Chain A
Amino acid sequence: MDLDFILAKGPIFLAAAQLTVTVAFFGILLSAVVGLLCAVVKFYRWPVAHRLVSAYIELARNTPLMVQLFFLYFGLPRLGFIWEGQTCAILGLTFLGGGYMAEAFRGGLSAVGKDQVEAGLSIGLNRFQLLRYVIVPQALAVSLPAISATTIFLMKETSVFSIVALPDLMYVAKDLLKEGHSSETNTLLVASYLAVILPISLIFAWLERRLRFAGFGS
């Protein structure tokens, strides 16, 4: 193992990790927003929107991220939309993640009983307040394991971004591999992903433990 090489190339990986984290952060955050909105639409079964949302979820979950990114990056510009690589990556991740997050939230929402809804209505809460103060907090607790799994899945999916020419971890590694030093490069790559993903896993595990102590929802 060539330590000098690892030390020399470390900063490149650090920069790449930063990019991966940035894209993942915004992509996953937007996924959660999109997913929650979709799940709520399905929860209330709003007539037309509910079908559109179902179609979107199926599309997002049943096509590979790579295909979605190709469409965004190479397909849409022909129709006049020009995406910068990073925007494209965030949108692609959001499109994919929204579908998975919707399913994650849906499980939690459906676990909130009709009686809880009626109790909330009985003190005069309107629909929005009911969601905000009664339904979503309880649903979150139930959905947390699924949200956590989806988050980590999406973090890993970011490795596909190198195809939209984004210098993320995977892209940098592929670049370096051309120069040899494969074991060092691979070590750096694995270490970088671990460094990014492991803390997130741990945070979720801690959150889940805390909620289990709180002992509601399930």
Chain B
Amino acid sequence: MLSGQVVLKIKDLVKNYDQRAVLKGLTLTVSQGEVLVVIGPSGCGKSTLLRCLNGLEPVNGGQIIFEGQYLTDPQTNWSRIRQRVGMVFQNYELFPHLTALENILLGPIKVQNKSREEALAKAEYWLNRVDLWDRRHSFPRQLSGGQKQRVAIVRALAMDPEIMLFDEVTASLDPEMVREVLDVITNLAQEGLTMLIVTHEMAFARAVADRIIFLDDGGIVEDSTPDVFFQNPATERARRFLNIFHYDDIHKPNGSLNLAKNNL
């Protein structure tokens, strides 16, 4: 899996917000089928990194090369790229005026010009896989957080993306719903979908990742396998970061971390 061909290459990526550098020359290569989990302290630029990859943030320097195409070229047709780069947000961001099914069909039908039948068949397949086909006519407000997030994942998958970006997709969920969403992602990982996942769920990160990318201060501090990173991190910064979660582990016996760990 790790020897697959390169899907995404990020070279010396620089991103500033009002003169302040948030990403300071970040370099990263992602191969076909790899699952990268990006972790790091709050404000270190995890979301910014993902948002640069689908053009929600303009970049200030360096290169992003996706399937041989330079996304840092100002001529980039972002609508085309975004069809191939799926994004899932922390707060679901389903369209509240559309049903779950309509949310999912919008992209395939209007952007990709697929026939309704074709789009519907795909939506049915994915909704069944996340156990929500029965709820297809529900509006977002009628769904629980976990259900909304599963619909949001299907909305992205319905476009047939080559890579998926997940930005703390369980951070707004009640603990008992975290699991159902993480299960879906784990499933996708096992099928070989290429993914970049930002999360604070360490047990999940460890279980799902091929590589852990530890980001701090605008750059990659560690890039290693989960076993190495969690058992024997190379840097003091990573160790300090991981200690925060040990505290959580000890003091939250029924918290989502343990729940996820026991069941994965």
Contact = CB atoms under 8 A, between A and B. Distances in A.
Contact of B97 (A118, A123, A126, A137): A137
Contact of A119 (B55, B79, B95): B95
B93 interface: yes
A214 B107 contact: no
A164 interface: no
A115 B47 CA distance: 13
B123 to A, nearest CB: 13
A80 interface: no
Interface string A122-143: 1111100100011001100100
Given A115-B93, A129-B111, A216-B141, A122 B79 contact: no
B48 interface: no
Contacts of B106: 123, 125, 133
Interface residues of B, number: 28
Contacts of B111: 123-126, 129
A118 B89 contact: yes
Contacts of B107: 123-125
- In this complex, the interface size class of chain A, counting residues with CB under 8 Å from chain B, is 20 to 34
Contacts of B54: 122
Contacts of B56: 118, 121-122
Interface stretch (B80-88, B186-194, B231-239, B248-256): B80-88
Contacts of B89: 115, 118-119, 122
Contacts of B110: 125, 129, 133
Query: Which of A121, A122, A126, A215 has the largest count of B CB atoms less than 10 A from its CB?
Result: A122
A116 interface: yes
7 contacts: A116-B93, A121-B56, A122-B87, A123-B83, A123-B107, A123-B156, A217-B97
